[in-house]
Each structure stands twice: as C-alpha cells, then as structure tokens.
Amino acid sequence: MWLPLRLTLLFLFLLLSPRALLRSGSAAVVSGEEEEFHEELLLKPLPDRKVLAHFHFHSIAPPSKSNGRHHHLFPKAISQLVQKFRVKEMELSFTQGRWNYERWGGFDPISSNNAKPPGVELWAVFDVPEDQVDAYWKNLTNSLSGLFCASINFLESSTMYSAPKWSFRITPGSLRYGTLPREAVCTENLTPWLKLLPCRDKAGLAALLDRPSIYKGFYHSQRLYLTSNASVPAETVSGISLEQTLTVVLQPNSPSSSSIHSGESNFQPSWSLSSIFGRKISGKCVIAQSSIVYLQLEKSIFSEQKDNMDNGPNSLASEGFAGGSGFEMSLDPDIVIEEENQSQHKGSSVLYGFWVEKYNESQPLDLGLKWKYPVFWSSQQAPLHASRFLMGSGNERGAIAILFKSTNSADSSSGSRHVSDGCELQVDVFQVVPWYIKVYYHSLQIFVDDEAKPIGDFVHKIQVSPSKDKTSPGMMEMLLKLPCDVRSAALTLEFDKGFLHIDEYPPDANQGYDIPSAVISFPRFHSVMHLLSNDSIRKSPLLSRFQEKNRVQSYTEVLLVPLTTPDFSMPYNVITITCTVFALFFGSLLNVLRRRVGEEERYLKAGKKKGWLRVLLSRLLAKFRGKPMEEPDQPSSESAPLIGKKLVLKVILVAVLAVAWQFYST
C-alpha cells in the first residue's frame, strides 16, 4: 500500500521538478542581471563645526515579466504600493530640526534635494485620470501611515492637501502635496524605513545608525523617493527605483582637541566615524553592488590653506590629504573625484572615496579627519535667502511676510551670469495656508529694497486657489521676477484668524496652529555638480544623482499661529442660557400680544364678539343643559346616534391623520 503512494509521489516530483528548476534558474538570472542595491555614505564637515552625514541607499527593480510579483532585493511593500496605487513618483520625508540654509549651504544638491521641512512631507504623482487622483491619494496616505507608523493618514482629509500646478515641480501631472508640520519623528519611523533595506541595519553602512547618536543631532531627515516607469505594457510589472536617504547633522565632540589646542574655538573639531556614530563600518552589505564612503571637502579650504602657508602643496589636484594641507585623514582614499572647475564660481569641491569592501570585521573602516590648522570657509548659498515670519499681535488678525535677502551682494555678477535674458532673478513661491487662516489675497504687498512697489512690476504670474471653510486649504503659487541687484524683497499678506467649532480644536488647542513651510525655488538656478567623468561615477547612484539638474529649492520656517479658543467647558451652559433668552423673548412677546386688560375682558364677556370656539362651547353647554329640559320626553336613543356620528367622525379623522403620519414617516 505504501509503495504505490511513494511511487506516485516520486512521479509527481519528477514531473514538477524541471519546471521548478527552470523557474528558479530564470529568476536567478534575471535578478543577477537586474535588481540592484547600492549603499553609499557621504560625510562632509560643515563650516559651523558640525558634520553632515548623508546615507544614500538605492534599490532598483527593473520592469520584468518573469519574476511576477516577487523580488529578490526590492522591498515587496513598496512594490505593492506602487502597483496598487499607480504611483508614478513619490517622495516622503520625515524631518526633525531645521536645515540651516545660511550655514550649511543652500545651493548644493544635498540642500536642494534633502533639506526638508520639519515633520512629514509627502507628495505623489499618480498615473490615473484626474478625477480619481483624490481617491488614490487617500488610499496611499492610509497605507503609508500603516507602513511607517506615522499619522500620515491625517493627510487624507481634503483640508490637508493641495494640488500645486507649476511652482512646486515643473512637470505637470496629477500631483498631490501635503505636509504635517507637527509630526514628531523618532525611531518608530526609522525602524520601518530600515526594514526596507535588504540588510536592514545588521550589516553594511546602515549598521552605523546608532539611534541615540542620530537623534541627538541638530537635524535629521529620513526620506524615501521612488519613481516607477509606468509606460510599460500592462502585463509586466513596472520597474521601480527606490531611493532612501538619511541626512543627519551631528556635532562631533572631540575632547582631545580642546585640551591640546589653546585657541580651540578657531579649530574645526576633529572627528572619526566611531566618535560621531559610536560605531565603525565592519564591512559592506554583501548583497550591495557598491558600497562606498565619500568625504566631501570644499575646495576653498585648500585655497585658504594656500594663502596661509607659503609651502603649500604644489597643486590642489595632487591629493591634499597627504599632509601638506590643513587636515589629515586617517585612511588613504581609494579614489579622488574633483568637481569640474567650470569658472571662478566658488564652492567646487573634492570627493574622496573609500571602498567599504576592503574592510572587514577585524579591520573596520573608521574614517577620521583631523584638522591641523584653523580653517574657515562658507557654504555655497542660494541667490536669495528666504525667511518667513508673522506680523501683528492679538488673536484676530495678522499678516504673513516672506522676506528674501540677497546672499551674495558682493558678487552679484556671478549670480546674474546664470540668467540668460536680462538681469532678472526668477523666484517661485509656493505657499499652502490652512483654511482657518483666512488670507486676503487682495492685500498682497511687495516691498523691494524696503520700498513699497506696485505688484504688477514684479509678480510675473500668480495663481491662487482661496481656501474654503472646512473643505480645502488656500494655495498660492507665484512667480516673481526681481532685479539681480536686489538687496531685499518682502511679500506681505494679511489674514484673519478663523474661529473653529469646539470639536475641531486639537487636544492642546492653546499651543497654536502651524502654517506649513513655503517652498521657494529658483527655476533658473540648478544645483548640479559637474564631476570629471569617471567610470566609478557612472556606477554610483549618489554621484549620478548629484549630477542631475535640479532646481535650487529651499523651505521657509514653519509658522506657529495661536488661535483664539472658546471655553471648552461651556457647551451645556451656553445651550441652556441661550435657550433661556429665546424662551424669554418668545414668552414675553406672546404674553404681551394675548394679554387683555380688564375692560376688554368684560367687553369680550359681554358677548359682542365671541370666538367661534366660545360660541361652540356655549352652544354645546346649551345643548347639554337646555335640550334635556326642553325635550325631556325625547328618548336618549335619538341623541345618542348624533353624538355617535360626531364621535365616529372624530375617530376617523384621527385615524386618517395617524395613517398619513405613518405613511410619511416611513
């Protein structure tokens, strides 16, 4: 009995196995060729003695028919999300802290792409007809909310998102944009983010992410950016490229330098990976195609060095790490990449690359930087520095002001060089205002160099979608054209503060409400690094991302607006008191109207003018009293049917009313 069963099983296995083998083989081939994962880390000392660490993880799932819904490296959650909600492009960022554009730079690719407003920012482009976009957006926010343990689902409500036309991104499409400035970002958001990486934080560069050292930094932004090429045939699964970045700004503490050098305030702190993260890199994530650590230094450091020291290195290109310059690296770089020095434009930089695969458990990568001499440099700035503030006091009204300040008044010529036609500086402003801030768009004023100017001279294009109470936020898109030699420009908009229903206030109502950051972008300026083309650059997704042409973009501060609150403990009192006043009105007025003074009472009683009810009553009384007296011999049987008829009529009337009521109420 056992034998035949075993035989059949064997037979079945033989029958199935070639196919299974074939499938696994093909999958292996496809994945070996196509699905990719790259991990990179960029370290950059910042002018204000801090260190920027920028982790960049890139997963690519190519469009394929063969492996169906299954992936080798690519996170399944994301690919399902893309398939289900037809996402063409999406960016989600969680940020804590504010990017300091003045000190940390506002022109380079990192600040344009990775500096994000505080809280959560989400935008997505969908590949669906325009009328379905909102539904897809709502579903997407709810899934992301579950995926990242965040309250992204609040973006579902139509008061929270908007559809910018041209100022946020140039490419039109079914774009939706929403922010949650109040969202607190913590490890609970980081863990699901790390889960999307194939090695999680067990191996590779992500192993550096020691939670306490990350979250004690000044700025922390984790970001997820994905694009899918939706233009593939329906049966194949679309290819997705997922870019996960984590940007942190940390303060290295170097007790040794402070003890040794007397003028410590002049010195940049020396640091190493282990001192800022508390960990070292003990090897790459084995699945990763590439695993590189870059160290980026501004070239102006070298030039300064050259000025300071006569016996400087004979050429900047000849590897300043050797010892002639003001700093010392603990490791020798495997590759040096220089930014192409197109012109005298400052801010070009040098990248030192370190292959992580050369290091292992016994010999971990612990890159360190030690400064020998005090050096100063400044980061490259966007043409205008934008800040935003509130004006006015009290809880009734106020004004929003956006102030642009020229950053490079000295070399305005270099700024104007970018402008092709005439000396104009184009600025795109994209501002979303919640509905309870009722903005008067007609009160828009513009001040150029502290002088009020007519709006038409500078506002080239403006598009407003005013806010609707409890329905949609107000959105303003504006294209400004300012002269190049402008020193400062300010926009002001007046608003009234709204009053909400008692249920619409959040738990801590007196804390105030946030106006999300405005997005300021400079369409004629592109943050792009011209790197000397090299084979290794093409392979590295981080560097190829740096070489993309992106608009210079910056976010303004989030504004906190205090709103007036009603007394939250009052609903019952208010209802009773108001109703009492209404009752007082109704009762006393009705009383005055129906009151009769003594004579009128008598006048009425005299019977000159009786109401029909009274007449009826008196007749009835007469009937009751008089009739039996007048006709005592009449049998009661005759009067009984009379009353009976009336009674029957009344009963029928009531019944009809009841039936009608029943009919209409159901």
Partner 1 sequence: MATANTEEEKSKSEQQKNHGGGGGFTRWAVLAVIFRLTLIYFPGNLNLSSRPEVSTPLTSIRRLAEGYWLKQSSMSPYAGSMYHGSPLLLSVLGPLTVKRIEGQPSHILCSLVFVLADLISAILLRATGRKLQMAYRKSLKSLNLLNKSTDSGGLSSGDIAALVYLWNPFTIVACVGLSTSPVENLFNILTLYGAATGIAPLAAFGWVMATHLSLYPAILIIPVILVLGYGPDAPPSKLFRSKENGKVGDDKSSQEIIFSWGRVLHLLVWTSVWSVYVLVLCSISVKQHSSLQEMFQRTYGFILTVEDLSPNIGVLWYFFAEVFDFFRDFFLIVFHSNILFMILPLAIRLKHRPCFLAFVYIAISSMLKSYPSVGDPALYLGLLGLFLDELADMQFCFFLFCGYVGVSVLSPVMHNLWIWRGTGNANFYYATAMAYACFQIVLVVESVSSMLNHDRKLMKLSASKLQK
Residue 395 lies near partner 1 (rule: CB under 8 A): yes
86-109 in b/e burial notation, b at 16+ Cβ within 10 A?
bbbbbbbbbbbebbbbbbbbbbbb
**Mask: binding to partner 1, 199-238, rule CB under 8 A, as x and -?**
----------------------------------------
Q: CA–CA separation, 133 vs 176, rounded Å?
A: 8
Q: Cβ atoms within 10 A of the Cβ of 334, count?
A: 15
User: What's the closest the beta carbon of residue 619 comes to partner 1, in angstroms?
Assistant: 25
Identity (one letter) of the amino acid at 67? N
**SS3 assignment, position 554:** strand
**Mask: binding to partner 1, 340-379, rule CB under 8 A, as x and -?**
----------------------------------------
Residue 392 lies near partner 1 (rule: CB under 8 A): no
Tell me the sheet residues that pair with 390.
400
Q: CA–CA separation, 103 vs 92, rounded Å?
A: 25
466-496 in b/e burial notation, b at 16+ Cβ within 10 A?
ebeeeebbbbbbbbbebbbebebbbbbbbbe
Residue 6 lies near partner 1 (rule: CB under 8 A): no
User: What's the closest the beta carbon of residue 288 comes to partner 1, in angstroms?
Assistant: 51
Residue 261 lies near partner 1 (rule: CB under 8 A): no
Residue 396 lies near partner 1 (rule: CB under 8 A): yes
Q: CA–CA separation, 648 vs 641, rounded Å?
A: 10
Binding-site member from 178, 474, 516, 541 for partner 1 (CB under 8 A) = 474
Phi-psi region of 595 (alpha: psi -120 to 50; beta: other; left: phi over 0): beta
User: What's the closest the beta carbon of residue 582 comes to partner 1, in angstroms?
Assistant: 6
Binding-site member from 498, 524, 526, 539 for partner 1 (CB under 8 A) = 498
What's 181's DSSP letter?
T
Binding-site member from 468, 530, 538, 650 for partner 1 (CB under 8 A) = 468
**Mask: binding to partner 1, 130-159, rule CB under 8 A, as x and -?**
------------------------------
**Mask: binding to partner 1, 425-464, rule CB under 8 A, as x and -?**
----------x--x-xxxx------------------x-x
Range 533-592, binding partner 1 (CB under 8 A) = 564-567, 570-571, 574-575, 577-578, 581-582, 584-586, 588-590, 592
**Quick one: 572 or 624, whose CB is closer to partner 1?**
572
Contact indicator for 240, 78 with CB cutoff of 8 Å: yes
The widest CA-to-CA distance across the chain, in whole angstroms, is 147
**Mask: binding to partner 1, 499-528, rule CB under 8 A, as x and -?**
xxxxx-------------------------
- In terms of Cβ atoms closer than 10 Å to its own Cβ (0-12, 13-18, 19+), residue 359 is buried
Q: CA–CA separation, 405 vs 427, rounded Å?
A: 12
User: What's the closest the beta carbon of residue 92 comes to partner 1, in angstroms?
Assistant: 29
**Quick one: 186 or 563, whose CB is closer to partner 1?**
563
Q: CA–CA separation, 314 vs 302, rounded Å?
A: 11
Residues that bind partner 1 (CB under 8 A): 393-397, 435, 438, 440-443, 462, 464-469, 474, 496, 498-503, 564-567, 570-571, 574-575, 577-578, 581-582, 584-586, 588-590, 592-595, 597, 599-600
